A and B are shown apart, each in its own frame.
Chain A
Amino acid sequence: SNAKNEKRTSDENDSRDIVQQKTQEEILFHEETIDLGGDEFESEGNETVSEDSNNFVDKLNEQMMESVIISDSPNNSEDDTGELGCLQEIVDQMEAKDNQKSQTEVDKEEFLSNESETEHEETPKDISEIGTDDQASLKEESIQEAVKEEPKLGNNISIETKPNNIDESTPEDQMLSPSTTKPSSEAEPIPVCTIFSQANTASSQPQLFLPDGFEPQMVKSPSFSSIIETPVKSNPQVVQPSPSLSKFFGDTVNTNALASDFFDSFTTSNFISVSNPNASSSVPEQMSSLSNGGDGSSSNPSFPVQNGRSEAGGPPSSLEITQSPKPFSQIQAVFAGSDDPFATALNMSELDRRNDAWIPSEETRNVLISVATQQYSAVFIDKENLTMPGLKFDNIQGDAVKDLMLRFLGEQAAVKRQVLNANSVEQSFVGLKQLISSKNWRAAVDLCGRLLTAHGQGYKKSGLPASHTTDSLQLWFVRLSLLVKLNLFQSAEMEFEPFGNLDQPDLYYEYYPNVYPGRKGSMVPFSMRILHAELPQYLGNPQESLDRLHSMKIICTKILENLEQGLAEDGSMTNITQENRQASVQLWRSRLGRVMYSMANCLLMMKDYVLAVDAYHSVIKYYPQQEPQLLSGIGRIFLQIGDIKTAEKYFQDVEKVTHKLDGLQSQIMVLMNRAFLHLGQNNFAEAHRFFTEILRIDSSNAVANNNAAVCLLYLGKLKDSLRQLEGMVQQDPQHYLHESVLFNLTTMYELESSRSMQKKQALLEAVAIKEGDSFNTQCLKLG
């Protein structure tokens, strides 16, 4: 059987390729973690954790604690080598039988399995979050298994061995690796289907002992932000491929996905190369050299470093020049649509005071007071205390949809793709809003960049003295918001860095007494503070997020206290009319509620469900009108944990609350909750019935449509399910071309037939017509 041999060699080639790729990625992985300083930390963390647990277990073992064999029936003994050997034989027998088959059959099989192989090549790119280890080991478990096993052992010895000592059932654990490597060396590689390609072998033992396994145990009171435990050391996710999908409850296996995995899959599209941390890390270097050369006065690196190095002061005289504010008449020409800052400054209105109020730190307050009292005499401010932002990357933007079209549909089709870009709109706020609402956020980011460049805060301007205006900060806010919306968290973090903790004196109006005479408060929009606080959690550092949110909470509470005591927001003695005071209390209460919301979301992301539920409960106090939604949300949290009973209790509470309201929306909510409850009870048929019920009331309900289709799949009705989703997408593509819907659709295409590629491409065309450049193409799972 020549064909057979040929196939075997080709398989081997394939696997060798994968091995190479694998090792490369392994290396990448290392560079990555070391760059970010995560690696050493991680291994240290592991050791201490496992030692601790050793001690702990020792203590518990004092007397006669014994490990108990779990078996489903008492007769099922633990597997041992003998039994595995037997399995081996069976596999061999099966192979042998295969070989005896007639030539035609073999050919046929060849054809089929080859087909499945070609699909394999795509899978690693598709499901890039899985982590490369898994993929490699799953597909061809022969040589690369052994290769892979070694580096892993080298890296994680502390993780792998120690827990095994604790756990007395080591025999099985160790068995896992031999069992996977041994049969494969003899057996022909087993073809595996695309959708199935998440492996277990790699994710078996070591990942059970992920360092973050212990993290959630630490119960912290939210009011003690000073006790910072070591954060979850999940690997920093540089760019999350599709971060919104099931990051909260899914297997933590995913958190191992590194940027490197992701880049592999996306090297074709432009934006990745920019958000690649390796690429961008070179930028600060360039800039620091530039700022050293250009700005003779300062010898410190481009970012205002917060670590209190006092050498950064530099000759004060030169700094003084920078802080005296200059009018920006030349820039204002650009911002035709905006208010004249002078005009607003002159009549410091109630509204301004109310909205811009913020309580600076002691240090900042002192600087501001000295600015106010000394006016133009020398005020010495450390360069560290100044905010010197600048674009960290230039023109990142492309259009991933178009790139995919070029690849799969050809140039002609790609030409038809027309989206707005930064050039095609008015270079003003008006154009910016146009880009945002048409979902061309990448272009909008570009436009923000241009407008900021006009403000003197453009590319390579970071570290150079800058003057801030209301507009410049709003532009920064929009740009950074959009970066977050585009899941480019790393980039957002880099550009946020110069802003420090948003409390530097030059971010207050008082710092510019002649530009904004009499105006007080912070230029930083409140929403930008929220964004700043939320950002670290998307980068694997939720503790930092909680810290920032807590300090925001403290200030909000303080402002509310001040208002209650008859003072102005910032604690000064100002007369405020009752009406204005009321409005101000309302504003700050809702802002405080917003902070609580972020905290709750952050706790949810940390999987600290008990605290998250508490936090959502307190959000209800601030937003009573959202009570039914929030209670339903809490119910869903319990469903996700698996606590169906408590979930049901919350859903009943929702029904009580909505009983009074009576309306279409609350009716839908009740039905939706019932459907979810049935889902939790494994009753997909009943769940489907309730989702369909919602559609009877509101036929355009995207969630119900999608969820009903998902239920159909679990009921074994793939075709019906597809019909429902396709119908929904065709009916109102404007609305339903959503990431999650498309993801479900493509998953089902892959399950349905070998024509999934064509069907996905058809979806791409539909997307190309309706969606802007911010569309996340990942959900189409096109290689």
Chain B
Amino acid sequence: LFFAVMRLTKPTLFTNIPVTCEERDLPGNLFNQLMKDDPSTVKGAETLMLGEMLTLPQNFGNIFLGETFSSYISVHNDSSQVVKDILVKADLQTSSQRLNLSASSAAVAELKPDCCIDDVIHHEVKEIGTHILVCAVSYTTQTGEKMYFRKFFKFQVLKPLDVKTKFYNAETDEVFLEAQIQNITTSPMFMEKVSLEPSMMYNVAELNTVDTAGESESTFGARTYLQPMDTRQYLYCLKPKQEFAEKAGVIKGVTVIGKLDIVWKTNLGERGRLQTSQLQRMAPGYGDVRLSLETIPDTVNLEEPFDITCKITNCSERTMDLVLEMCNTNSIHWCGVSGRQLGKLHPSSSLHLALTLLSSVQGLQSVSGLRLTDTFLKRTYEYDDIAQVCVVSSEIKQS
């Protein structure tokens, strides 16, 4: 028996080298005629390099994690005798497991001379590193002799992508995720899908398209693919779901954000898919008492009072009794009484607070100077640079 294996990567298109001439040149239309007669050129547009002829893969190529390994297994009876009970088995040995890839495990009853057994195996590669395809063939000869042989084919699975992430925590419980995906293969890669599958606590909004006139346009423009070593940055906004947002204290410490699901395609639609492991982030600590802004105007008039709304949340495990103090800064002047009692605040509960202030300086001003004191523990919490506000001269705003 003859036994051979060939990896079936996608075929490639044949390309030719156009050499043209003009009628007045010495060869006349000879060169052009030669190109017309060449079956691999595109009829009517012979100068087009990229032809239509498919050619089989010339070498094993590279295989990357997440891609599908396909292989043709051919067993051919080269002898002049009928061979019986042929069993072809293809196993893939990885560093951690051994998988059976054969489509059928049943033995073929007999194989006549010059006949063959064909099998195309597929396997989605899930591990990096050395893989060994172990093909075993057993059969019985006409004389009843049992025969057995096997062959090993070794290949390396490489990493196709490099993924790096970065989290930003917004003042409102949103989390922004920046994910850089780099193509570390040697061929261009079309990113079919890069999505974030959020964990149960979050809803996700993808920020990779811009809506223009009802049509969403990719922020990556017309370049739909990644050249080798190119990196693309994807942006996602995660909002905690309502039921979790209410309990602000819940989202604390290390939390699971979700995982990235990446689908790409290369030559003639050769597909690959990967998921990252669960992305985790360290939620920012808010201390015992968290003060967040609910509303604030973006532009205010100089020396005119404006309102802001704050939300004060007790993130600690105990009840607090809070007193609010307001300290003026160079530019920010608080209106109202400082040292106001806010009353008791139970763990994980919050209260809303409307405050009035004005600015005496133009420009972008930082709202600072709030102090909360827990009278039970005599502990003071300071809140500076809570938000910025743009202060303009009132004449400008009127005009």
Contact = CB atoms under 8 A, between A and B. Distances in A.
Interface stretch (B120-128, B285-293, B314-322, B391-399): B120-128
Given A626-B48, A716-B119, 20 more contacts: A60-B180, A72-B65, A79-B127, A197-B59, A198-B59, A198-B61, A213-B186, A244-B17, A248-B50, A355-B22, A437-B33, A525-B22, A633-B48, A640-B267, A641-B188, A643-B265, A644-B269, A706-B39, A751-B72, A752-B4
Contact of B16 (A208, A244, A607): A244
A190 B76 CA distance: 21
A741 B265 CA distance: 27
B26 interface: yes
Contacts of A179: 129-130
A429 B26 contact: yes
Interface in B243-302: 259-260, 264-271, 274-279
Contact of A643 (B180, B184, B224, B274): B224
B13 A130 contact: no
Given A191-B152, A192-B152, A710-B11, A743 B147 contact: no
Contact of A629 (B45, B154, B162): B45
B63 to A, nearest CB: 7
B55 A69 contact: no
A452 interface: no
Contact of B4 (A195, A253, A601, A716): A195
Contacts of A487: 17
Interface in A481-500: 481, 484-485, 487
Given A72-B66, A609-B188, A636 B50 contact: yes
Interface of B: 2-8, 10-22, 24-28, 30-31, 33-34, 37-40, 42-45, 47-56, 58-63, 65-66, 72, 74, 76, 78, 93-96, 98, 114, 116, 118-120, 124, 126-130, 132, 134, 145, 147-159, 161-167, 180, 184-190, 192, 222-225, 227-230, 259-260, 264-271, 274-279
Q: Which of A538, A610, A672, A736 has the most chain B CB atoms inside 10 A of its CB?
A: A610
The 4 closest A-B pairs by CB, nearest first: A642-B265, A198-B60, A198-B59, A642-B190
A8 interface: no
Contacts of B275: 70-73
B253 to A, nearest CB: 16
A641 B224 contact: yes
B12 A245 contact: yes
Contacts of B161: 70
29 contacts: A65-B164, A66-B165, A72-B124, A86-B95, A90-B93, A94-B134, A104-B145, A127-B59, A194-B4, A196-B7, A196-B60, A243-B17, A244-B15, A250-B267, A251-B186, A436-B30, A475-B26, A525-B22, A597-B48, A601-B48, A605-B49, A630-B45, A642-B225, A642-B270, A672-B52, A707-B52, A707-B54, A744-B55, A747-B58
Nearest to B70: A714
B162 A67 contact: yes
A249 interface: yes
A433 B28 contact: yes
A643 B225 contact: yes
Given A190-B152, A199-B60, A204-B158, A246 B15 contact: yes
Contacts of B154: 138, 141, 190, 192
B274 A754 contact: no
Contact of B78 (A355, A646, A738, A754): A754
A333 B2 CA distance: 63
A680 B186 contact: no
A647 to B, nearest CB: 9
Nearest to B274: A70
Most buried by A among B40, B50, B164: B50
Nearest to B156: A200
Contacts of B21: 477, 481, 525, 527
A73 B227 contact: no
Interface in A729-760: 735-736, 738-741, 743-744, 747-748, 750-755
A751 B13 contact: no
Contacts of A719: 116, 118
B373 to A, nearest CB: 33
